[in-house]
Structure 1
């Protein structure tokens, strides 16, 4: 390949990568010492851990399924919206469904090499077909159990080789939520 053709090819490749949004590219960035995980990658990791359920007061079974991850760059938080089900022999019908959205800050768990949800809180709960005091009580139960089920839920777990480049092993620093992924500083 002639020298000027190689230069043109490199310019074309540089132009194409410069146009691509950096946050949308998963992986290690050598220039900024950061690792970016895309929203799609995180969504796939979250989905693997569902459905989940837990008993409450030996009377209710609360379940979450079909999680959808959203990221809020402005508030540096992640949110999971899931289908919520509450079942009990005391209910008529015996199961109620709805939607719950739980938002959370993020923290790094060095022992597990995982970015986890930190202090999740139920922001929105909507139950179908119920109103009044029954709906309020079930919303409280659903919110409390959803928060418990999602507490410390990992969003991204790193393999040791992902944090090693050459002979250097990196530690995770600050976690920044973006609209289309999360970026962790490597130090």
Structure 2
């Protein structure tokens, strides 16, 4: 084999490896482009702000309790409790009724675990509990009913309440379907571990 033949063979091998590297780089760029924002190798992480924005779209929230108390919740604020793997939601509550001269207002604060609901592709509250329900100027004799409303809000209204819903494309990576698994509350967001369905 002559020197020029050896040189041509080396040049061809170099071009082949350079071409393969270019193809690999393009494939990597395409795969990254297919991943939804927030996706990491082990799952999907969304920030407190993303959760806050998703929850804010569901408010104001209105419901009638015990047949004659109209409850309105507005201005939800989410905070994250990584130490207890729970989230906390505080909202402004207003209770109106024909039994009252004026609406009762004050903060409602709940804390809750989270679980994933596959049919709705959503992260939902899991067994929320009322941490605070302080309405101002509650007339004597209605304190027990007002406390019952707080328990009903947590147990019936907010239990299994969707706080974040995945878009279908967020549950695919490079065309492969993934399903949320373990949910971990972090100081600045919530991490949902991915698993194959």
TM-score band by shorter chain is: 0.7 to 0.9
* Offset at residue 146 of structure 1 (A): 4.6
Who is 1:155 aligned against?
163
Who is 1:167 aligned against?
175
2:76 maps to 1:76: no
2:40 to 19, 23, 29: 29
Who is 2:48 aligned against?
39
Change (3 A) 1:65 1:146: farther
Give secondary structure in 2 for the equivalent of 1:46: helix
Aligned-partner Cα distance in 1 for 2:97–2:162: 29
Gaps of 5+ in 2: 1-36
Larger helix proportion, structure 1 or 2? 2
1:135 to 111, 121, 143: 143
Who is 1:48 aligned against?
57
Equivalent residues, number: 159
1:112 to 116, 120, 128: 120
Aligned-partner Cα distance in 2 for 1:134–1:57: 12
Give secondary structure in 2 for the equivalent of 1:74: helix
* Offset at residue 132 of structure 1 (A): 5.4
Q: Once superposed, what is the RMSD of the aligned Cα atoms?
A: 1.7
TM-score normalised to structure 2 length:
0.75
* Offset at residue 149 of structure 1 (A): 2.5
Who is 1:91 aligned against?
100
* Offset at residue 130 of structure 1 (A): 3.1
CA offsets, 1:116-167, max 9 Å, x none? 1111111111111237553343132234235433222212211121121113
1:124 to 107, 132, 146: 132
TM-score normalised to structure 1 length:
0.79
Q: In terms of Rg, which structure is larger?
A: 2
Gaps of 5+ in 1: 1-25
* Offset at residue 184 of structure 1 (A): 0.5
2:75 maps to 1:66: yes
Aligned-partner Cα distance in 2 for 1:98–1:167: 48
* Offset at residue 90 of structure 1 (A): 0.7
Aligned-partner Cα distance in 2 for 1:108–1:34: 13
